[in-house]
A and B are shown apart, each in its own frame.
Chain A
Amino acid sequence: ELKVEQNPLFLSMQEGKNYTIYCNYSTTSDRLYWYRQDPGKSLESLFVLLSNGAVKQEGRLMASLDTKARLSTLHITAAVHDLSATYFCAATFGGSNYKLTFGKGTLLTVNP
């Protein structure tokens, strides 16, 4: 069974602190995605990681991919309140079969 597991599922941080969200997947993946979702809204694409060692950064968020460990991380630097949201990772599996499977999400709350 194809699985994508995120941890932690809940994360409460103070502003200015750093933290990492982890995303493990169960088999070889073609692509690894990170999304942000605000309450009552749709999912916003943050990053797409395609190859081993890929690193992408946008503002205070940095995502990386280790295909050998089947692990992606989303690192938050000096968190601010505006980063409060739910973050999802997702992966596609199979050569030509781009079935997109999601983790359960990490609810991030950044406190002043």
Chain B
Amino acid sequence: DAGITQSPRHKVTETGTPVTLRCHQTENHRYMYWYRQDPGHGLRLIHYSYGVKDTDKGEVSDGYSVSRSKTEDFLLTLESATSSQTSVYFCAISGTGAINTEAFFGQGTRLTVV
């Protein structure tokens, strides 16, 4: 299995509180992604990173921020959680070039905002 770990795996939080999800990889892959998965919407990209300190927005980035200070860690922060952010969050990693072609997913974080 690819070395990618998400933490926490489950979290319940109250509306208005900040929340940070962590994605840690041991594959030294350049690209890291945060997705949310909701019924009827498939996987939607929140933010992604193409290197240390290099990040960009995805299609559903409002209300989320990210940081990548090290190759191995990609953090997703909900500044002030809302009920609409209740979802399953997946981190993914991918390499570049002809060798590292796979894109692997973490186990997911189930976030409930009450």
Contacts and interface: CB of A to CB of B under 8 A. Distances in A.
The finding on whether chains A and B are genuine partners in a shared complex, rather than unrelated, reads yes
A90 B105 CA distance: 13
Given A42-B90, A98-B31, A100-B92, A105 B42 contact: yes
The range of chain B's interface size is 20 to 34
Give the interface SS of chain B, mostly helix, strand, loop or mixed. Answer: strand
Contacts, number: 57
A100 B102 contact: no
Interface in A25-64: 31, 33, 35, 42-43, 45, 48, 50
Interface of A is mostly: strand
A96 B96 CA distance: 8
Nearest to B6: A42
A41 to B, nearest CB: 8
Contact of B45 (A88, A101, A104): A101
30 contacts: A31-B101, A33-B103, A35-B105, A42-B90, A42-B106, A42-B107, A42-B108, A43-B43, A43-B92, A43-B105, A45-B103, A48-B101, A48-B102, A48-B103, A50-B101, A88-B43, A90-B43, A90-B103, A98-B31, A98-B50, A99-B33, A99-B48, A100-B31, A101-B45, A102-B35, A102-B42, A102-B45, A103-B42, A104-B42, A105-B43
Interface of B: 31, 33, 35, 40-45, 48, 50, 56, 58, 90, 92, 94, 96, 98, 101-108
